[in-house]
Amino acid sequence: MKAPMDYMLLAETALLAGEIMLVSGAEIYRVEDTVGRMLGTSGLERAEVFVVTTGIIITLSDPQIKPISLVRRVPEKSTNLGNISETNEISRQFCGGSISLEEAYERIQAIRGKQRYPRWFLNLCMILTTGFFCIILGGSAADCLLSLMNGVFIVLWTEALGKLQAKSFFLNLMGPLFIALFSTVAAGIGSPYVNAEPMIAGSIMPLLPGVAITNAIRDTLQGDYVSGGARIIEAFVVALAIAVGIGVGLALGGLVMGGIGL
């Protein structure tokens, strides 16, 4: 005889899966689909899920049980496709009956604290990205080396903001400001062997909201206009902060070069 399902554990497991996917940068429709499939295994009369970019609401109700409603706020997001894929795979295994509810909860819980790559490796990739994009965008070897210095600053600034628990807006504003200022001064001193344009363009690549724009389009095409609009605004704010930072940095760089007579 099949054991009765723990509906509260099911709700907690589905909510945790949705939270991990949303934090990791998954599209809204993908999160709703995964959570909805998991809740659907309950066989109850109503299994509802509502997801926006900053939170998840789920409800289980049936005449036979006391209604269960859970809410989880998700204020911060990043990009981790590995977490999305692994959580999605576990949910499919659970819905297919390959694993139990308890095993699914334990495996999804383990994803939350998993660090796929060491921090130093991620920082190194961030630094190298700035240099490689500089070369792709037409920079010279000298431009590439100087772009790597911009990458070092981005990493140090990111780590400092993380310790201060500051918002990413300050990274997107002050990072490009320093990049533009440093690149302008370096180009003025090293002219004609150093060019500011590929240095600046390559260095801001890790900060651009590419994933946010992609998800905004996909959510909008799926009919999630609220979430799609919110992500478009998010991408716009990030792009605006980067543009303002670069503009101020270029202005300050021009003042510095004018001050030293170059």
Residue 164 confidence (pLDDT) above 80: no
Burial 47-73 (b: 16+ CB within 10 A, else e): bebebebeebebbbbeeeeeebeeeee
Alpha-carbon span 161 to 163, nearest angstrom: 5
The pair of structure tokens assigned to 244 is: 């303002």
Percent of the chain with pLDDT over 70: 96
Alpha-carbon span 213 to 41, nearest angstrom: 33
pTM (two decimals): 0.78
Q: Where are the domains of the chain?
A: 7-112, 119-259
Burial of 87 from C-beta contacts in 10 A (0-12 / 13-18 / 19+): buried
Alpha-carbon span 56 to 21, nearest angstrom: 11
The pair of structure tokens assigned to 100 is: 């139990």
Q: Residue 175 in contact with residue 127, Cβ under 8 Å?
A: no
Alpha-carbon span 85 to 34, nearest angstrom: 11
Alpha-carbon span 26 to 221, nearest angstrom: 15
Look at 166 and 97; give whichever has higher pLDDT.
97
Q: What are phi and psi of 20, to 5 degrees?
A: -60, -45
Alpha-carbon span 209 to 168, nearest angstrom: 12
Helix (H) or strand (E) holding 68: strand 65-73
Residue 77 confidence (pLDDT) above 80: no
What was the pLDDT predicted at 2?
43
Alpha-carbon distances, residue 111 vs 24, 83, 100 (angstroms): 11, 7, 17
Dihedral sign (CA 191, 194, 195, 200): negative
| Mean pLDDT value of segment 43-68 | 88
The pair of structure tokens assigned to 39 is: 């809740």
Can you list the pairs that 109-112 forms with residues at least 24 positions away whose Cβ atoms lie under 8 Å? 109/16, 111/20, 111/83, 111/86, 111/87, 112/16, 112/20
Q: Residue 39 in contact with residue 14, Cβ under 8 Å?
A: yes
What was the pLDDT predicted at 261?
57
List beta partners, residue 73.
55
pLDDT tens profile 13-43: 999 999 999 988 888 888 999 999 999 888 8
What was the pLDDT predicted at 170?
75
**Maximum Cα–Cα distance across the chain:** 87
Give me the chain's average pLDDT, please.
85
Q: pLDDT-derived band of residue 1, with 50, 70 and 90 as boundaries?
A: very low
Q: pLDDT-derived band of residue 107, with 50, 70 and 90 as boundaries?
A: very high
Which of these ranges, 126-130, 196-200, 201-205, 206-210, has the smallest mean pLDDT?
206-210
